[in-house]
Structure 1
Amino acid sequence: MNKKKGTENMVSYGVIGLGRFGSALARRLAEAGEEVIVVDCSESKVKELRQYTENAYVADELSKEVLEEIGIQNCDTVIVGIGEKIDTCILTTLNVVNLGVPRVIAKAISSDQGEVLEKIGAEVVYPERDMALRLARRLLTGSVLDNISLNNNVEIAEVRLTEKSAGRSVLEMDLRRSFGLNIIALEHNGKTDTEVDPAYIFKGDEILVVIGKKENITRFEKEK
């Protein structure tokens, strides 16, 4: 096992498991300037991440002692991306929680696995399921380009307008009163504006980024 003694300074993120999910996440965090510790049993996967972070370790086992020596306890947030190996995922998550990491996020591939992870103190994400649901939504409602689900049935969605909206102003459409939606940004001709003038007249081919209840976004899609 290639590892170093854990650092004393706090590190923003730790990523355990460098499959497609973990590797992509670690790279994006590192590219954003965050300090990241990455851990995997595969030397080749760890080697690929060393161009993004010096804190890249090969670990043949993920016991509490090994993780502590690596320095996982110094992370503010740790993401466990070993969803497919359910027993390893659960035990590793438990070890990270017991090391006192403030925020632990674990990848799950089933609701049963997710339920266990939540009970031991982790937040749970379902990358494959969430991606499938987002794709299904885009296929079923062609006007929605992408969406992000938040808490309490609230979503951020990109909605492409149609000719039906052409000639109407932002003030006239009044999405807040009519649909309970707030405009976050407007995209047109390759430009994005986050400060939308109430007097702006829609051309009918814009993309609106809105936030609101899921059912209100669906209603707006049908009536816009």
Structure 2
Amino acid sequence: MKSLLTILTSIFVTGCSVVGQSNVETAPYTLLKSDETKNIEVRNYESMVLVSTSMAGNSSNSAFRKLFKYIGGENEGATEISMTAPVIMDDKNGSKKGTEISMTAPVFMNENTDEALMSFVMPKSFTLATTPKPTNPDLKVSELKDYKVAAIQFSGTLSDSNVEEHTKILTDWITANGFTAIGEAVKAGYNGPLTLPMMRRNEVLIKIQ
């Protein structure tokens, strides 16, 4: 994906290594089925609160900056939050407008909706009601409930060819295993570019029933 290296540069500034180790909180899910030979899992995310913004016009860099500023304090929150992964922000004004929010993996990139979206997952301690309201009107808060997906994990980069290859593997597996795809493929990135490509965790997720 064009510009992905730039987009993910700051995701795990303090929580990522060249070998893929990260202390960043990961969105929790219930494992329903696993195929270790193909690195595929069927998962149910009981609840995920997302903060999303448009990637229209291939403006993925801009989308990432807006979301990163949000978790860095550009929000209307006032609650003290225990940091699971420190976020480094350059605050030239010497003050924060709102709450600093810990980084949570993965970063979702959904290019198949009417408007391509990039989304950050809020820490599991947040609900829809307690998530700080963005001060940027381009950002929207939403909640996914009982999000049942088939997910395939792979290394390398989130290039178009890599994503297409693993999307086909996943869609074929979904059909062969008696599930029905009810959504388009969504890309998910877990690591920044300091991580060696062969050690990165990338995923494609497809909603199923």
- Per the shorter chain, which TM-score range? under 0.3
Q: TM-score, normalised by structure 2?
A: 0.24
Higher RCO (C-alpha 8 Å, min separation 6): 2
Q: Which has the larger radius of gyration?
A: 1
